[in-house]
A and B are shown apart, each in its own frame.
Chain A
Amino acid sequence: MELKRNAGFFTALKYKGQGPMLTFILHRIGGLGMGIFVTTHILASFLSGDVGNFINGIYEHWLFQIFIFFCALFHGINGLRITLLDLFPSLIPHQREAIWVEWAVFIPVFSFAAFTILTTALGS
């Protein structure tokens, strides 16, 4: 049952997985970020009071909004690619092209949203 691993941590960091590896890592960061956010946000709403307001106050900060929007948007778009390619396996040979499409959707939408968040937070 136990796995034998012959690659150390620092060797693993140097693994050159390129585009697909980058989406894999960002998918994890996005998923973990949203998991921690949603869990603590539910707990903060449940507790309310000083503790709840303190935690929800962090979530209203523009830096956090940009971070969590990155998590949600990337996880959503990348998850849609994974879902479509897994449910229609004949498309899997085109996964690198699918990743390019993914970035072509993600970069403009995220840039526009981050710009809007920034101008709303700092502009007025």
Chain B
Amino acid sequence: MKRTLPISKRGLNFETIMWFFTRLSALAMYGFIIIGMIGALVMGARMNMNFADVMRWAFMSNSTHVQSTNIPDIAPWANAFWRLVASGFLLVASAHGVHGLVVIADDYLVKPLQRNVVRLLSIVMLVSIGLIGLYVIWTA
């Protein structure tokens, strides 16, 4: 039995787009983590950081995450490139995560009104956490 429909016969609604986004953003986050790890090694992590510190930096390239290590000069870790990487990671991860919370809530809340409330709350949460996170990244 052939189970795949041609593209033209598949519906393309918001849920389908978010299904695809969830997978692509997962791959993107692997990319962000690898960029953070390689960047840390290039900037001298091997002699001055333990593995836990490298992971903390790789998961969010915010300069406060290397303050407690033996890195002598924190300036290269706080430049615009790393702030942009951190901002991209934050926005991709929060969109992925907030949509994940909506998917979980949809398993338990089945009335249209309840689902609309969850969607409204999720948009409020995404926007507020995104703005607060960007503020923390760019003022650290």
Query: What is A's interface to B at a CB cutoff of 8 Å?
Result: 1-3, 28, 31-32, 34-35, 38-39, 42-43, 45-46, 72, 76, 79-80, 82-83, 86-87, 89, 116-117, 120
Query: Could you jot down 6 A-B contacts, CB within 8 Å?
Result: A1-B112, A31-B97, A38-B93, A42-B133, A42-B136, A82-B23
Q: Which B residues from 14 to 41 make CB contacts under 8 A with A?
A: 23, 26-27, 30
Q: Would you list the 3 A-B pairs with minimal beta carbon distance, nearest first?
A: A83-B23, A3-B110, A35-B97
Residue in B closest to A48 when the chains form the complex, CB atoms: B136
Known contacts A31-B100, A83-B23; is-contact A39 B30 (Cβ 8 Å): no
Contacts of B26 in A (CB 8 A): 79-80, 82-83
Give Cα distance in the complex from A2 to B129, angstroms.
31
Give the number of A-B contacts (CB < 8 Å): 52
Give Cα distance in the complex from A82 to B19, angstroms.
11
B124 on the interface (CB 8 Å rule)? Answer: no
Give Cα distance in the complex from A2 to B112, angstroms.
8
Give Cα distance in the complex from A89 to B27, angstroms.
17
Taking A31-B97, A83-B26 as known contacts, 10 extra A-B pairs with beta carbons closer than 8 A to each other, sorted by chain A number, are A1-B112, A2-B110, A32-B104, A34-B97, A35-B98, A35-B101, A38-B94, A45-B64, A45-B140, A79-B26
Contact status A43-B23, CB under 8 Å? no
Give Cα distance in the complex from A86 to B98, angstroms.
21
Q: How far is the CB of A20 from chain B (nearest CB, A)?
A: 16
Contact status B97-A72, CB under 8 Å? no
Contact status B136-A46, CB under 8 Å? yes
Contacts of B101 in A (CB 8 A): 31-32, 35
Contacts of A83 in B (CB 8 A): 23, 26-27
